[in-house]
Amino acid sequence: MAVRAAGWGFRYGSRRAWALRDLDLRVEPGERVLLTGASGSGKSTLLAALAGLLGPDAGDAEGRLEVDGGVPRSRRARTAIVFQDPDAQLVMTRAGDDVAFGPENAGVAPERIWPAVDRALAAVGFPYGRDRATAALSGGQKQRLVLAGALAGDPGLLLLDEPTAQLDPDGAALVRSAVARALADRRATLLVVDHDAEPWLPLVDRVVELTPDGGARELPAGWRPAPLRLPGRRPHLPGQVLLRAEQAGFTHRGSRAPALPPTDVAVRAGRTLAVTGPNGTGKSTLALLLAGLRAPTSGAVTATAPLTAGLRRPDRPPHRWPAEELVRRIGTVFQHPEHQFLTGRVRDELALGPLRTGSGDSEAHRRADELLERLGLAALAEANPFTLSGGQQRRLSVATALATRPGVLVLDEPTFGQDRDTWGELVALLAEQQEEDRGMVLVSHDAAVVGALADDVLDLRPVVPAVPA
Applying CB under 5 A, the residues found at the interface with Mg ion are: 44, 389-390
**Minimum separation from the CB atom of position 62 to ligand ATP (A):** 15
Closer by beta carbon to Mg ion, 389 or else 397 = 389
**Minimum separation from the CB atom of position 211 to ligand ATP (A):** 11
Contacts of ligand ATP in 410-429 (CB under 6 A): 417
Closer by beta carbon to ligand ATP, 81 or else 269 = 81
**Minimum separation from the CB atom of position 59 to ligand ATP (A):** 7
Q: Which stretch binds ligand ATP (CB under 6 A): 149-157, 258-266, 328-336, 387-395?
A: 387-395
Distance CA(23)–CA(37), nearest Å, equals 13
Q: Which does 284 bind (CB under 5 to 8 A by kind): Mg ion, ligand ATP, none?
A: none
Distance CA(129)–CA(126), nearest Å, equals 8
Q: Which stretch binds ligand ATP (CB under 6 A): 13-21, 222-230, 232-240, 288-296?
A: 13-21
3-class SS of residue 52: coil
Among candidates 357, 449, 346, which has minimal Cα distance to 389?
346
Q: Does 12 bind ligand ATP (CB under 6 A)?
A: yes
Residue ranges in 315-437 assigned as alpha helix (H): 323-329, 346-356, 361-374, 390-403, 420-435
Q: Does 43 bind ligand ATP (CB under 6 A)?
A: yes
Q: Does 388 bind ligand ATP (CB under 6 A)?
A: yes
Closer by beta carbon to ligand ATP, 41 or else 263 = 41
**Minimum separation from the CB atom of position 161 to Mg ion (A):** 6
Q: Which does 424 bind (CB under 5 to 8 A by kind): Mg ion, ligand ATP, none?
A: none
What does DSSP say about strands 79-82 and 32-37: parallel, antiparallel, or unpaired?
unpaired
Q: Which does 206 bind (CB under 5 to 8 A by kind): ligand ATP, Mg ion, none?
A: none
Distance CA(141)–CA(125), nearest Å, equals 10
Q: Which stretch binds ligand ATP (CB under 6 A): 37-45, 98-106, 200-208, 398-406?
A: 37-45
Q: Which stretch binds ligand ATP (CB under 6 A): 41-49, 93-101, 104-112, 123-131?
A: 41-49
Q: Does 44 bind ligand ATP (CB under 6 A)?
A: yes
Distance CA(314)–CA(409), nearest Å, equals 19
| Residues whose CB falls within 8 Å of the CB of residue 175, separated by 6 or more in sequence, listed in order | 140, 143, 144, 147, 163, 164, 167
By the 10 Å C-beta count (0-12 exposed, 13-18 middle, 19+ buried), 323 is classed as exposed
3-class SS of residue 327: helix
Compose the 344-383 pattern: x for residues touching ligand ATP by CB under 6 A, - for all others. Answer: ----------------------------------------
Secondary element (H or E) of residue 243: strand 241-250
- In DSSP terms, 67 is beta-bridged to 3, 70
Closer by beta carbon to ligand ATP, 294 or else 445 = 445
CA distances for 419 relative to 190, 193, 333, 340, angstroms:
21, 11, 19, 22
Q: Does 76 bind ligand ATP (CB under 6 A)?
A: no
Closer by beta carbon to ligand ATP, 138 or else 392 = 392
Among candidates 151, 144, 49, 54, which has minimal Cα distance to 102?
151
Report the interface residues with ligand ATP, using CB under 6 A.
12, 14-15, 19, 37, 39-45, 387-392, 417
